[in-house]
Amino acid sequence: MKNSYLTKTLLVASFFTVAACQSNEGMMNSNHIHTGGIQAEPMPVDKGPDALSFDIVHAKITTTNNIAKFHMSVSGNAGANKPTPSGKLAGSSVYSYVWPTSINAAEVGFEKDAGILALAVTSHADFDDTPLYDENGDSDPNNDGDLWHSHWVVLQANEQCGEGALGVVDIPKGAKPKLPKTWPGLPILLDSPGWDPILANKNIEVSIPFNNIESVRSASFDGVTAGLRVNQSVHAPLLCVVDAMDIASGDLSLSGKTNQ
């Protein structure tokens, strides 16, 4: 009788142990399953944690009612790597997670057809371009540029940034283009709307309300991780894309389709 009871107890314990392991394995696997959007091959793990934090494995845009969710997943820890402070604006660096889109720039308050509208989640230690917001909660809105925050930027090819390179579109002196109400005052097509990004584990997400959500539902997009640099002269071009670390599609073809 004792042997029979012990055998049954061991069998039951084994069953729950196996079931628990299978459940944990399923949870681990589910964390690495990405559906829809643009899926990219991860780089080798020996590239190091800094590179892996910008190694895109998935980019996606989805909509629910009038809300668009911009999602990106990387191989490493999202947001773990930030620019080293240089102590000055000229020549300073900006790290970013970017969704270039086919959405017309007019949908967020810029001139129609102004360039490539992109959502960017950025960090830069040497300047603050969100004057309306106090991201670190210390009652000073001008000292938290190093915290990850969101922007709309308008990009165009700019040979002054390098052969085939992109730059944030400059506003020429004296020009008065249409600008969003939350434009931070810099002489470039950049908006600081205050949509809080969420960076957790391997994921970056930003949820944004749109007046015309159809402009997002019909859009194509890509995913890019990039380093940008402020010009040494702090003059046109003010902000250039100098280091495209990874491109989800591989060729910036905007191959992703919203809700697909």
Higher pLDDT, 6 or 224: 224
Q: What is the pLDDT of residue 32?
A: 52
The pTM score is: 0.85
pLDDT digit string, tens, across residues 92-148: 999 999 999 999 999 999 999 999 999 999 999 999 999 988 787 888 888 789 999
pLDDT digit string, tens, across residues 197-251: 999 999 999 999 999 999 999 999 999 999 999 999 888 899 999 999 999 999 9
Mean of pLDDT values over 173-179: 96
Average pLDDT value over all residues in the chain: 87
Q: How far apart are CA 114 and CA 116, in angstroms?
A: 7
CA–chain centroid gap for 225, Å, is 7
- 224 exposure class (CB count in 10 Å sphere: 0-12, 13-18, 19+): buried
Question: If you ran DSSP here, which 8-state letter would residue 197 be given?
Answer: P
214 SS3 class: helix
Q: How far apart are CA 74 and CA 107, in angstroms?
A: 28
- CB atoms under 10 Å from CB of 162, counted, come to 13
Q: What is the pLDDT of residue 7?
A: 36
Rounded (10°) CA dihedral 240, 243, 244, 245: -150
Could you tell me the pLDDT band of residue 46, with boundaries at 50, 70 and 90?
Answer: confident
Both tokens of 218, joined, read 């019909």
Could you tell me the pLDDT band of residue 57, with boundaries at 50, 70 and 90?
Answer: very high
- pLDDT higher than 90, residue 255: yes
